Amino acid sequence: MLTTLCVAVVAPAVHCDSWVLCVCNVGDSLCFVYNRNYGVREVTMGSHDIDQMRDMRDAGGALGPVDGRNPQLHNLTCSMTFVEEGDVVFITSDGVSDNFDPVVGKFCVIKRVETDNKENSQLPPRDNRKLSV
């Protein structure tokens, strides 16, 4: 059985007030960053090629077998990008990323509608704010 791996580390950048995200990836588990101003972007872009013809006998980038002390890591990629405070980093398995479309997600953000302080009495006190999609 083959497996995939995606590991992410966020660390402060040296000599500036920024943060750096470093992602190591083998296979088709992907990493994304959500920023409130720019939306969702994929960090692991170079780790897979969706336009390439796939051999159904190949898992398409999983950790391969080990030959003695030499693991098959031809699909290993490392990616780095700057992130901002408040960004959300999420790592997904292929089951999520194969069905995830950041463009569609951009239109499904719940927004709070400011009203005349009228509350919706059908919702619990914590949630009784008017929402629109």
Q: What is the pLDDT of residue 131?
A: 44
Q: What is the pLDDT of residue 115?
A: 52
Pick from 85, 99, 93: which is nearest to 31 by CA? 93
Q: What is the pLDDT of residue 84?
A: 93
Paired sense of beta strands 70-71 and 5-12, if any: unpaired
Rounded Cα–Cα distance for residues 90 and 98 (Å):
14
Burial of 31 (0-12, 13-18, 19+ CB in 10 A): buried
Pick from 80, 88, 11, 90: which is nearest to 45 by CA? 80
Domain residue limits, the chain: 5-100
Q: Is the pTM of this model over 0.75?
A: no
Binned average pLDDT, 10 residues per bin, the chain of 133 residues: 82 90 87 89 70 49 67 80 93 79 58 53 48 44
Place of tokens 């059908």: 122
